[in-house]
C-alpha cells in the first residue's frame, strides 16, 4: 500500500533527520523504521541507501554530550 510513495517519504524523512530539531530527528528515524517494518521486502531496494545515510549522519554525533 505504501510502496508507490516510499521514495518520496524516505526523502522527506531524510530531510527532517538532517534539518529538524532534536525531537523531530528522533521521530523521523522512528517513522523511517516503522516504514521499513510496514514495507517488509519492498524496503530492500532502499535499505542500503538508508543505512549509508543514517550511519554517515549519526557518525557526526560521537562527542561525549551525545552519549
The ranges assigned to domains in the chain are 3-66
Neighbours of 18 (CB within 10 A): 11
Q: Nearest CA to 54 among 39, 38, 32?
A: 32
Q: Nearest CA to 16 among 54, 47, 45, 60?
A: 54
Q: CA 28, 33, 38, 42 torsion: positive or negative?
A: positive
pLDDT of the residue at 64? 82
pLDDT of the residue at 33? 94
Q: Which residue has the higher pLDDT, 12 or 59?
A: 12
- pTM score, whole prediction: 0.81
pLDDT of the residue at 67? 67
- pLDDT tens column, 19-53: 988 889 889 999 999 999 999 999 999 999 999 98
Amino acid at each position: 500500500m505504501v510502496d508507490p510513495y516510499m521514495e518520496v517519504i524516505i526523502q522527506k524523512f531524510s530531510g527532517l533527520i538532517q534539518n529538524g530539531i532534536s525531537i523531530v530527528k528522533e521521530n523521523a528515524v522512528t517513522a523511517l523504521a516503522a516504514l521499513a517494518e510496514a514495507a517488509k521486502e519492498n524496503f530492500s531496494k532502499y535499505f542500503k541507501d538508508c543505512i549509508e545515510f543514517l550511519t554517515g549522519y549519526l557518525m557526526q554525533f560521537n562527542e561525549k554530550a551525545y552519549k
